[in-house]
Copies of this chain bind each other. A is one copy, B any other.
Amino acid sequence: MIDTHTHLDTRGLEDLELMALTLEKVVTLAHDPFEMKTLDVWEVHLNKVLSEIKRGGKVGLDVYVCLGIHPRAIPPSVDEAIKLLEKYIKLDKVVAIGEIGLEKGDKKEEEAFIKQVEFANKVGYPIVVHTPRRNKEEITKKILELLQTFNLKVDVVIDHCNKEIINSVLDQGYYAGLTVQPGKLTADEALNLIKDNLDFSDKIMLNSDTSSNYSDVLAVPKTVLKMKLEGIDKEVIEKIAKKNAESFFKF
């Protein structure tokens, strides 16, 4: 099983150990722990996220990393940040650009998002896209419209999907990330979304979005258990809990 979206740097070692007991791989992403006042602050954050590879290793957790500019944590110069990103993505176990996306959807966020999609497309890295809690439908529509303007050669996952947005995401050929976390989806809601979209079982991935907020580090295995109890086909479970992530992140 693979947890495709976490922020391990917000958590104690016990949580990483619990994940190591149940998960083959975990992906941890850049996010918004503080104001990215300068480029140095943002770079320090990238290094913090990268250091989770080593910390995970201590307890047997196989950690992979996505780096990028979160819409709630944009450093002063996006261009300079992307130049730095160009160096950092070459590091071992960095597998994608993320999480990027829109939160409020203003011009500044749009600029950072567009430039990063452009960059990811150029360097051939998959993209993990954040969608917000507020105005999710409206902001996701904007995200999908922006993505349409690119001739994308890389895979994209639209994360934190719910019933309002999952259809448009899957219909347009993107991966859909299901986040099982208090305030996002319950395991039962994720199960229902999976059952409603079995035709798209090649394009659904699971995650806990473990962060400093209430989270369930066992969200992925718990959702897998729900799928088993519901009698969902073994191969479908295998894809949603593991194979799709392997295809997407290429690890």
Binding site for B on A (CB under 8 A): 9-15, 33-35, 37-38, 40-41, 43-45, 47-48, 51, 55, 210-215
The answer for the CA separation of A5 and B38 in the assembled complex, in Å, is 30
Contact of A211 among B12, B37, B38 (CB under 8 A): B12
Cβ B47 vs Cβ A44 within 8 A: no
Q: A12-B15, A12-B215, A212-B11 are in contact. Are A37 and B44 (CB under 8 A)?
A: yes
Contact of A214 among B14, B44, B213 (CB under 8 A): B14
For the complex of A and B, 7 pairs with smallest distance between CB atoms: A34-B44, A38-B40, A13-B214, A34-B48, A41-B44, A37-B40, A13-B213
The answer for the CA separation of A146 and B210 in the assembled complex, in Å, is 43
Q: Closest approach, in angstroms, between the C-beta of A30 and any C-beta of chain B?
A: 13
The answer for the CA separation of A215 and B17 in the assembled complex, in Å, is 12
| Interfacial chain B residues near A13, Cβ < 8 Å | 212-215
Cβ A213 vs Cβ B48 within 8 A: no
Residue on B nearest A45 in the bound complex, by CB: B34
The answer for the CA separation of A33 and B211 in the assembled complex, in Å, is 16
Q: Closest approach, in angstroms, between the C-beta of A241 and any C-beta of chain B?
A: 23
Looking at A43, A44, A47, A215, the one whose CB has the most chain B CB atoms below 10 A away is A44
Q: Closest approach, in angstroms, between the C-beta of A242 and any C-beta of chain B?
A: 25
The answer for the CA separation of A164 and B15 in the assembled complex, in Å, is 32
| Interfacial chain B residues near A213, Cβ < 8 Å | 12-13
| Interfacial chain B residues near A15, Cβ < 8 Å | 12
The answer for the CA separation of A108 and B213 in the assembled complex, in Å, is 37
| Interfacial chain B residues near A11, Cβ < 8 Å | 10-12, 212
The answer for the CA separation of A199 and B40 in the assembled complex, in Å, is 50
Cβ A12 vs Cβ B210 within 8 A: yes
The answer for the CA separation of A34 and B51 in the assembled complex, in Å, is 10
The answer for the CA separation of A44 and B20 in the assembled complex, in Å, is 31
Residue on B nearest A52 in the bound complex, by CB: B212
